[in-house]
Amino acid sequence: MNDNLQLNSEGKLKHFLSIEGLPKELLTEILDVAESFVGMSDQQIKKVPLLRGKTIVNLFFENSTRTRTTFELAAKRLSADVLSMSIATSSTSKGESLLDTIRNLEAMFVDMFVVRHAISGAAHFIAQQTAPHISVINAGDGQHAHPTQAMLDMFTIRQIKKDFSNLRVAIIGDILHSRVARSQIQALNTLGVPEVRVIAPKTLLPAHVESLGVSVSHDLNAGLKDVDVVIMLRLQKERMTSALLPSESEYFKCFGLTEEKLKIAKPDAIVMHPGPINRGVEIESKVADGPQSVILKQVSNGIAIRMAIMAMAMQKQGIM
Amino acid sequence: MLVIADLLNQLEAELKKTIIERNLVNPLMIGIRTGGVWVAEQMYQRLHIAEPLGLLDISFYRDDFSQIGVNPNVRPSQLPARVDGRDIILIDDVFYTGRTIRAALNEIFDYGRPNQVVLGVLIERDGRQIPLSPDCVGISIILNVGQRIKLTGPDPLAIEIQTLTVAA
């Protein structure tokens, strides 16, 4: 028996809630399967029949454009029937509880929930409560995890750098509020990246951040030295409840990525950002649109990686 | 006893005949992973096909996904050119139930609409489950219960009939 909610008794993926607790082999398998879905864009009919007849509900309790649309496209390319619910327009606004919403959707013979929620642990909660045949994918929960984003970032890094075992990766910006950063750090460590640095002002770092397996710097110039991969994070103004920064312009001056500062990293370093970008706040337009930026490649890869995760989570449990 | 050289010669001869009979023009050859690619590599050289060999991985088109899930060893299919209007020679190692070929045809048709498709296999064995059959074969055989064909390769390409011990 496996006590990890995410895996079935044979160690296969059942829910995808967090990178934490998933073995390196499984993460690598996800990347390998996604590789084959990338090639599908050559097909005239960009669809495979894997999830024909399955019903997937995107439950978005929090706004999202990129994540929701790529999940939707991924489901459609797997031939699933997909329904996207924005909760502002649903019964929740009439007072229905989360559990009642889930029970009602279950009664409509749903096979998978893709959940985004502002509260950490929401996807876990649904995975615990839902009927046993249903799989749950976390599309971002509070400040906890955004594992599909982390996997598409790992996929993009592997596509360009080929190998994780000799990389230096810097994650820069609002680590405190970032579920993306938490999932990225776990994935980078699991996949064997030898050095993960976080670079941020003290006010935007969680306490004891070193315990996540990173080195810490408060100086962008020093932190960027010899880095292969630069991951910029969005300044999450909507989650800031207190004055953590003097001003945006001062933040940009100290921690914004400019062409000049990027020169400190390795000449073939790539620049990533999970989007949406605040141009001129955490990243200069010239860098975001520049030759080292792989930001749009990340978006394209998001479809393939989500296809892989959805297909793997939907394999019939207990037979393999 | 199956002699691989004889089977390859026979398949080559049948393919040559079919290319003339069916008037295949500048055919595109596609091998189905893994064994079909090994056989296709041989036929590709013997028939002097001009374009690169196409490789088809049917993992995403199998009809038993709900039973066995995603093949973790899946690799991207590589079809060299547009398949619209093309004459295609599809190659597999063993024709058994026909389900692999159904999956392969479905995948090819997602890339475009070929003019014609000819199916060549090294060995046709009994056990067909759907109404498809190969056009060109190296040999047709009937196996006893518990027997199966095992192809190893690519170099050397070898074939053996294995008898499985029946579980109690």
Q: Is residue A220 in some structural domain? A: yes
CB pairs under 8 A between A and B: 63
Is it the case that residue A37 has pLDDT exceeding 90?
Answer: yes
Residues A219 and A278 in one domain: yes
pLDDT at A246: 78
B112 burial level (CB within 10 Å; 0-12, 13-18, 19+): middle
**Looking at the predicted structure, is the pLDDT value of residue A9 above 50?**
yes
Interchain proximity A33–B69, CB inside 8 Å: no
Question: Domain for residue B28, yes or no?
Answer: yes
DSSP β-ladder status, B158-163 and B147-152? antiparallel
In this complex, which of B68, B78, B111 lies closest to A44 when CB atoms are compared?
B111
- Is pLDDT above 90 for B1? no
Question: How far apart, in whole angstroms, are the C-alpha atoms of residue A197 and residue A223?
Answer: 7
Chain centroid to Cα A301, Å, comes to: 11
Average pLDDT over residues A198-217: 94
- Residue A139 and residue A152 share a domain: no
Return the percentage of chain B with pLDDT > 90, whole number.
82
- What integer pLDDT is reported at residue B81 of this predicted model? 67
Q: What is residue A318's predicted lDDT score, i.e. its pLDDT?
A: 38
Choose between A316 and A14: higher pLDDT.
A14
Chain B positions touching A319 (Cβ under 8 A) are 67-69
CB-CB under 8 Å, B66 with A48: no
- Helix, strand or coil for residue A123? helix
A143 CB-near residues (< 8 Å, 6+ apart): A120, A176, A177, A178, A179, A182, A239
Contact A33 B75 (CB under 8 A): no
Three-state DSSP class for residue B116: strand
**Nearest by Cα to A172 from A60, A284, A72:** A284
Asked if A151 and A267 sit in the same domain, the reply is yes
Q: Is residue A165 part of a domain?
A: yes
Nearest CB to B110 within list A44, A308, A320 = A44
> What's the pLDDT tens digit per position in A126-156?
999 999 999 999 999 999 999 999 999 999 9
A189 and A308: one domain?
Answer: no
* Domain match, A137 and A151 both: no
Asked if B67 lies within 8 A of A319 by C-beta distance, the reply is yes
DSSP class of residue B166 equals P
Measured distance CA(B20)–CA(B16) in Å, rounded:
7
B72·A12 Cβ contact <8 A: no
Residue B165: per-residue pLDDT: 74
On whether both A164 and A290 belong to a single domain, the answer is: yes
B99-154: per-residue pLDDT in tens? 999 999 999 999 999 999 999 999 999 999 999 999 999 999 999 999 999 999 99
- Residue A267 sits in a domain whose CATH number is 3.40.50.1370
Report the helix count and the strand count for chain B, using DSSP H and E: 4, 7
Mean of the pLDDT values across residues A15-30?
96
How far from chain centre, in Å, is Cα B152?
14
A62 in the same domain as A180: no
Whether B168 is in a domain gets the answer no
Cβ-Cβ contacts under 8 Å, B57 against chain A = 36
Residue B68 to residue A315, Cβ atoms within 8 A: yes
Give how many domains chain B has, as a whole number.
Answer: 1
Q: How large a percentage of chain A has pLDDT more than 90?
A: 81
Please report the pLDDT score of residue A192 as a whole number.
97
For residue B58, what is the nearest residue in chain A, using CA coordinates?
A48
Strongest mean pLDDT among A65-69, A185-189, A240-244, B81-85: A185-189
Residue A32's domain comprises 24-145+300-313
| A139 falls within a domain | yes
> Residue B51: inside a domain, yes or no?
yes
- Please give the residue of chain B at the shortest CA–CA distance from A53: B66
Q: Does A317 touch chain B (CB under 8 A)?
A: no
Q: What is the pLDDT of residue A106?
A: 93
Please judge whether A49 and B106 are an interchain contact, meaning their C-beta atoms are less than 8 angstroms apart: yes
Within a domain: residue B98?
yes
- The CATH number linked to B41 is 3.40.50.2020
The Cα A125–Cα A239 span in angstroms is 22
Copy the structure tokens of residue B126.
């009994």
From the CB of residue A233, how many other CB atoms can be counted at a distance below 10 Å?
Answer: 25
Condensed to tens digits (0 to 9), the pLDDT of residues A76-121 reads: 999 999 999 887 656 666 677 888 989 999 999 999 999 999 999 9
Considering the domain architecture, whether residues A63 and A141 belong to the same structural domain is answered as yes
Q: Is residue B128 part of a domain?
A: yes
pLDDT value of residue A320: 33
- pTM for this entry: 0.89
Question: Are residues A153 and A277 both part of a single domain?
Answer: yes
Residue A316: per-residue pLDDT: 64
Q: Is the pLDDT of residue B68 over 90?
A: no
Nearest CB to B68; choose among A33, A48, A320: A320
Residue A6 is assigned to a structural domain of this protein: no
pLDDT at A10: 86
Contacts of A8 in chain B (CB under 8 A): none
Measured in angstroms, the CA of B111 and the nearest CA of chain A are apart by 4
Of A3-12, A161-170, A227-236, A269-278, which gets the smallest average pLDDT?
A: A3-12
- Same domain, residue pair A249 and A163: yes
pLDDT digits (tens, 9 = 90+) for A251-263: 999 999 999 999 9
| Average pLDDT across chain B, whole number | 93
**What b-and-e string marks burial along A43-75, b requiring 16 or more CB atoms within 10 Å of the CB?**
beeeebbbbeebbbbbbbbbebeebbebbbbbb
State which residues form the domain around B59.
4-163
* Residue among B162, B143, B148, B149 at smallest CA distance from B122: B149
Sign of CA dihedral B71, B76, B82, B88: negative
User: How large is the average pLDDT for residues B53-70?
Assistant: 89
DSSP E strand stretches across chain B: 28-32, 54-56, 87-95, 116-125, 136-141, 147-152, 158-163
For chain A, what is the mean pLDDT?
92
Q: What is the number of domains present in chain A?
A: 2
